[in-house]
Amino acid sequence: MIDLLTPTHWKDYELIDCGNFEKLERFGKYILIRPEPQAVWDKQLSEGEWQKLHHIKFKGRSATSGDWVKKGNAPDRWHIEYKTKDLDLKFRLGLTSFKHVGIFPEQAANWDYIAESINMMKTPQPKFLNIFAYTGGASIAAKNAGADTTHVDSIKQVVTWANENMELSGLKDIRWVVEDALKYVKREVKRGKKYNGIILDPPAYGNGPNGEKWKLEDQINEMMKDIVQLLDEQEHFLILNTYSLGFSSLIVENLVNTAFPKVKNLSIGELYLQATTGCKLPLGVWGKFRSF
């Protein structure tokens, strides 16, 4: 059975509408228009309503970069928060040349699962590993829940950004690692390291700090075989999240089952954002399980 999962606690984020390969979304008090390759249907609101509502719009110059066009006094940087009964997280947003703003809002559903899992554990201070960690939403969620947290990403600038988010959230002592993800995981396996919780959210394509190449379909099977060796035998949870056009939930299910044949409580699903206008925007497939 495939589960559909969407965040439900985001007061500072709203997907207002999406369609015609764009999305209209609110981060705090600012409304942005950004490209969205999954939104192949028609917009629900008129083009005039989109133009009236937005403060900032991304205009692409190429397939991978572009410029932001701002109205009035819209900022280049601002802060938002994510607050639930278990989490109190703050994030610095910024307008990057590759259309991102420093956060993937749909991932809040995974942050909730991480906090819930850590709070359920008997281990006094669970060890948590975030691979392909970007600006650290999952890392600060784990740290906020009390875990000893390691954050791994190959890009120094986004690790610095993640450190800002940690400090904004009133947290400290996350372990920052700037390294190729696969190399780091293999080294941890050789060291015999164990973690109680792991999340990996690999990109379709990527590069390590020393020119290492990552291609999801070529290397994710090898990565999963190594990752499961890092799980604490007594108490653990794992989340595999993938955002790649055409990467199905069945692929994720098969990856987990073949890498970890003794897996229990495996659930498979799809992340989405619910637009205020009614449509659901799909944003990746996931598999997750825990031993308790």
The domain at 78-290 falls in which architecture? 3-Layer(aba) Sandwich (3.40)
CATH topology of domain 7-75: Immunoglobulin-like (2.60.40)
For residue 152, give the nearest of 230, 92, 83 by alpha carbon.
230
**Quick check: 132 pLDDT over 80?**
yes
d(CA 133, CA 66): 24
58, HSE (Cβ side, Cα atoms, 13 Å): 26
pTM: 0.95
Condensed to tens digits (0 to 9), the pLDDT of residues 161-200 reads: 999 999 999 999 999 999 999 999 999 999 999 999 999 9
Pinpoint the residues of the chain covered by CATH 3.40.50.150: 78-290
Condensed to tens digits (0 to 9), the pLDDT of residues 31-44 reads: 999 999 999 999 99
Pinpoint the residues of the chain covered by CATH 2.60.40.1180: 7-75
For residue 37, give the nearest of 283, 285, 204 by alpha carbon.
283
Give the C-alpha distances (Å, rounded to integers) separating 109 from 216, 243, 246.
22, 15, 22
**Quick check: 159 pLDDT over 70?**
yes
What pLDDT does residue 61 have? 85
What pLDDT does residue 205 have? 75
Condensed to tens digits (0 to 9), the pLDDT of residues 245-276 reads: 678 999 999 999 999 998 989 999 999 999 99
Give exposure, 54-93, as e/b (b: 16+ Cβ within 10 Å): bbbbbeeeeeeebebeeeeebeeebebbbebebbebbbbb
Q: Inter-axis angle of helices 108-120 and 137-144, to 10 degrees? A: 30
User: What's the whole-number mean pLDDT along residues 70-89?
Assistant: 97
